[in-house]
Amino acid sequence: MAKKKLNKNWLHDHINDPYVKAAQKDGYRARAAYKLKEIDEDEKLVKPGQVIVDLGCTPGSWAQYVRRKLAGKDGGGINGTMIGLDILPMEPIADVQFIQGDFREQEILEELGRVLQGRQVDLVLSDMAPNLSGIALSDAARMEDLIDIAIEFAQLHMKPGGALLVKCFKDMGFSQIVEKFRREFKTVVQKKPKASRDKSSEIFLLGRGLKNPVENKANPAQSALDI
């Protein structure tokens, strides 16, 4: 009975959520688009001509936002390159190059390499989160593992002066993740956008400027992810 009531309360809150209503009005696939929008407006992350990769991009609201930002006022194509990767399928988005698969696997890395054509990435986005088990230590370990994957991806593919934005949770090994970011990036800031629900411990970390970029970016086969 308590679970049923909880689900009913969540549904009520969801339906009346202003960001859910805005997403429906603006044609975004999820309210998460407004989290990235606010962070981008504060930090000036997305710029014309950039190469941007969205890790764990499904259902695609972040990719939609980036696509619109790169399209400018005229539309009809984008000024830049937008690549989305996810294990899950994603409905196509105009001008977004989607690669389905695990980007830790050699085949997917090679496909990404073909799309990049030797170019380095300006901005890496990750809204990835683990499937929660309810066991605190286990969930924290899974979250940290996803952060490690995103950092390693950035080290391999990102420009030394690029930026990595990831989702974290305050109750999932957050202090260790912040320390890890500080070891790897020259500047680190925490962002809690208004679109992130008050009840949620969700928070975003933005790292700029790699301290330890991987030198051999031309050969994805040598990825630190394969170690």
Sign of the dihedral through C-alpha 105, 108, 111, 116? negative
- What per-residue confidence (pLDDT) applies to 200? 85
Cα distance between residue 80 and residue 52, in whole Å? 8
- What per-residue confidence (pLDDT) applies to 120? 97
Domains of the chain: 30-226 (3.40.50.150)
The verdict on whether residue 127 carries a ligand-binding annotation is yes
Using one digit for the tens of pLDDT, what is the confidence trace for 52-66?
A: 999 999 999 999 999
Q: Taking a C-beta distance cutoff of 8 angstroms, is the pair 31, 17 a contact? A: yes
The verdict on whether residue 62 carries a ligand-binding annotation is yes
Please name the residues in contact with 193: beta carbons below 8 A apart, sequence gap of 6 or more: 34, 35, 38, 39, 204
The verdict on whether residue 122 carries a ligand-binding annotation is no
Cα distance between residue 81 and residue 96, in whole Å? 8
Using one digit for the tens of pLDDT, what is the confidence trace for 180-216?
A: 999 999 999 999 999 998 888 999 999 999 998 876 4
The residues of the chain scoring below 50 in pLDDT are 2-3, 6, 10, 12, 216-227
pTM for the structure as a whole: 0.87
- Of 171, 168, 179, 163, nearest in space to 42 by CA: 163
167 annotated active-site = yes
Q: Taking a C-beta distance cutoff of 8 angstroms, is the pair 165, 123 a contact? A: yes
* Catalytic pick among 167, 170, 194, 217: 167
- What per-residue confidence (pLDDT) applies to 172? 87
